[in-house]
């Protein structure tokens, strides 16, 4: 893959910049609807759609037509949730923001750990509330649901690893 010198390496390097911008905004809107902060969604989508998976603050601000302060706030959030990291541009004082390798795998693995903690706490809550009470039964059912998700997630992650290591391409 090559980058387009006119876009500083931040664009798609191929195709229509306007179409890429439309994709970034549409995907960002979907992430925002799912609960992610709006500006963080836009910055993440721009990084995802970039040729290299990395951009500087200035590149992000220019592409998204937002202020450096908005970029900074979005990067702060994305760093806190481990979706991006900050690297120094070689030979400069500029920071470059980079998507993590295996981003989705890592995100869902962390989510799986949270499900395990929630399940444990819910089981304790169900025992405290009393297994014969409506609240205790609801809480126990919720714990069972998280246990089910945990088991399914482990299988899904194993299948993803096998698919990825097998060189299967997704379309």
Query: By C-alpha distance, which of 162, 144, 55 is closest to 105?
Result: 162
Q: Give the whole-angstrom CA distance, residue 83 versus residue 54.
A: 12
Query: Chain-centre distance of CA 28, in angstroms?
Result: 11
The tens digit of pLDDT for each residue in 5-32 reads 344 444 444 558 899 999 999 999 999 9
What pLDDT, on a 0 to 100 scale, did the predictor assign at position 169? 52
Q: Give the whole-angstrom CA distance, residue 119 versus residue 122.
A: 5
Residue pointed to by tokens 């194993």: 158
What pLDDT, on a 0 to 100 scale, did the predictor assign at position 2? 35
What end-to-end distance do the CA atoms of the chain give, in Å? 18
Q: Give the whole-angstrom CA distance, residue 88 versus residue 147.
A: 42
Least confident of 118-127, 129-138, 154-163: 154-163
The tens digit of pLDDT for each residue in 39-59 reads 999 999 999 999 999 999 999
Tokens encoding 99: 């998507």
Query: Chain-centre distance of CA 96, in angstroms?
Result: 18
């Amino acid at each position: 893959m090559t980058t387009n010198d006119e876009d500083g390496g931040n664009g798609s390097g191929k195709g229509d910049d306007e179409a890429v911008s439309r994709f970034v905004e549409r995907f960002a809107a979907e992430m925002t609807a799912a609960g992610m902060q709006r500006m963080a969604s836009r910055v993440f989508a721009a990084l995802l759609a970039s040729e290299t998976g990395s951009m500087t603050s200035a590149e992000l601000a220019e592409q998204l037509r937002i202020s450096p302060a908005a970029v900074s706030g979005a990067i702060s959030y994305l760093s806190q949730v481990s979706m991006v990291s900050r690297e120094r541009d070689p030979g400069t004082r500029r920071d470059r923001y980079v998507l993590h390798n295996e981003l989705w795998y890592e995100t869902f693995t962390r989510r799986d750990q949270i499900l395990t903690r929630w399940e444990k706490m819910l089981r304790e809550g169900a025992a405290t509330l009393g297994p014969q009470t409506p609240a205790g039964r609801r809480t126990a059912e919720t714990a069972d649901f998280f246990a089910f998700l945990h088991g399914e997630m482990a299988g899904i992650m194993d299948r993803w690893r096998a698919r990825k290591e097998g060189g299967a391409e997704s379309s």
